[in-house]
Amino acid sequence: MNQAIGVIDSGVGGLTVVHELMRQLPKESLIYLGDTLRCPYGPRSEGEIKTFTWELADFLLEKNIKLLVVACNTATAFTLEELKKHLSIPVIGVIKPGARAAVKFTKNSHIGVIGTEGTIRSNAYPRALKSISAYLRVNSLACPLFVPMVEQGVLSGTEAEQMVGETLLPMKEQNHIDTLILGCTHYPLIKDTIQKVIGSQVTVISSSEETAREVSTILEFYGQLYNGTISPAHRFYTTGEMGVFAKITEGIFKESAEYFQSVTIERAVLPY
């Protein structure tokens, strides 16, 4: 039986992780749930973030997934350890893979991190980076306007460049970082604009590739990689309006996705 890999996110950003999983693990089936109705998670309280994340996880657990990817950085920062503690399947977040990738690329040990207010407030990236090397210098910047911009489908052009330019000005003025972590899975959808604003001298890191590699390693370790002949079946769920979600999904995958559905998720009973 080809059990699927489950991926949850606060909106459409985690689709960048799904895309990389499809590339690296072409035989695996994937189920995605984006909470576009309640996006963004960044400004929300820790309690809300935990509750929402458990609701998403419970929805996918009912689909008999074999591994869960928490593709939202904010949800990873506040809920990953609890999910790992209470669930019987492997759970992977996106923060540690992103941190490892940044450390590989930096030459001057000065790394920038941009993310939602919640992710930056959690201090999760500086902790993850400094657990690898205590000598790293880390500058963090919250970018609260980016997720709403992406969720509205504004991914390029004058409006996007102006908003990104104004937001990243404090990071750019420091002019010391040589590596920038996109600490939100929505941000790769505007990566070209971010790269243009921050400058070609800075390596822009998305955690998607490293996260997919970690999924592959863990599934291989547990003997759960699918090696059969049945073609993968991918399903995409959203808690919100279907139009923009479907448009962005098809823009990422360059084709019409097989299965879309808008769903209502039940309130979770937290295991603590």
Q: How far apart are CA 128 and CA 11, in angstroms?
A: 24
| Residue 272's pLDDT band (cuts 50, 70, 90) | low
- Label residue 262 by pLDDT band (50, 70, 90): confident
pLDDT at 121: 94
User: Which pLDDT belongs to residue 1?
Assistant: 55
CATH of residue 231: 3.40.50.1860
Q: Would you say residue 215 lies in a domain?
A: yes
In the block, residue with structure tokens 């209470």: 86
Q: What single DSSP character describes residue 109?
A: S
The C-alpha angle 174, 183, 97, rounded to 5 degrees, equals 115
Instruction: State the pLDDT at residue 41.
Output: 93
272: in domain: no
Q: Which pLDDT band holds residue 127 (cuts at 50, 70, 90)?
A: very high
Residue 104 and residue 83 share a domain: no
Task: Return the closest-CA partner of residue 41 out of 74, 68, 13.
Answer: 74
Q: Which two tokens stand for residue 103?
A: 């450390």
| Residues 226 and 240 grouped into a single domain | yes
- Three-state SS at 51: helix
Question: 6 - beta bridge partners?
Answer: 31, 68
Number of domains, the chain: 2
The pLDDT tens digits for 189-248 are 999 999 999 999 999 999 888 899 999 999 999 999 998 888 898 999 999 988 878 888
Q: Quick one: pLDDT at residue 270?
A: 73
The answer as to whether 122 is a domain residue is: yes
Residue 45: what pLDDT?
94
- Same domain as 99, residue 186: yes
pLDDT of residue 151: 87
Q: Which of 207, 228, 250 is the last residue of a domain?
A: 207
Examine the domain organization and report whether 60 and 158 are in the same domain: no
pLDDT tens string 18-45: 999 999 999 999 999 999 999 999 999 9
The predicted structure's pLDDT at residue 251: 77
* The pLDDT value given to residue 84: 96
Position 201 in a domain: yes
Mean pLDDT for the stretch of residues 105-131: 95
Residue 175 has pLDDT above 80, yes or no: no
Q: Looking at residue 257, what is its pLDDT?
A: 61
Rounded distance, CA 131 to CA 154, Å? 36
Among all chains, which residue has been given the structure tokens 């911009």?
149
What pLDDT digit, counting tens, does each position of 181-192 carry?
Answer: 999 989 999 999
Q: What is the mean pLDDT of the chain?
A: 92
pLDDT of residue 259: 80
Measured distance CA(32)–CA(108) in Å, rounded: 37
The per-residue pLDDT for 269 is: 65
Q: Is residue 268 part of a domain?
A: no
Is 33 domain-assigned?
Answer: yes
pLDDT of 261 above 90: no
Half-sphere exposure of 47 (CA within 13 A, CB side): 0
pLDDT (0 to 100) of residue 258: 67
Positions annotated as catalytic residues are: 72, 184
Residue 92: strand, helix, or coil: strand
Domain boundary among 167, 192, 207: 207
Res. 253 pLDDT band, cuts 50 70 90: confident
Q: Which residues form the domain of 191?
A: 95-207
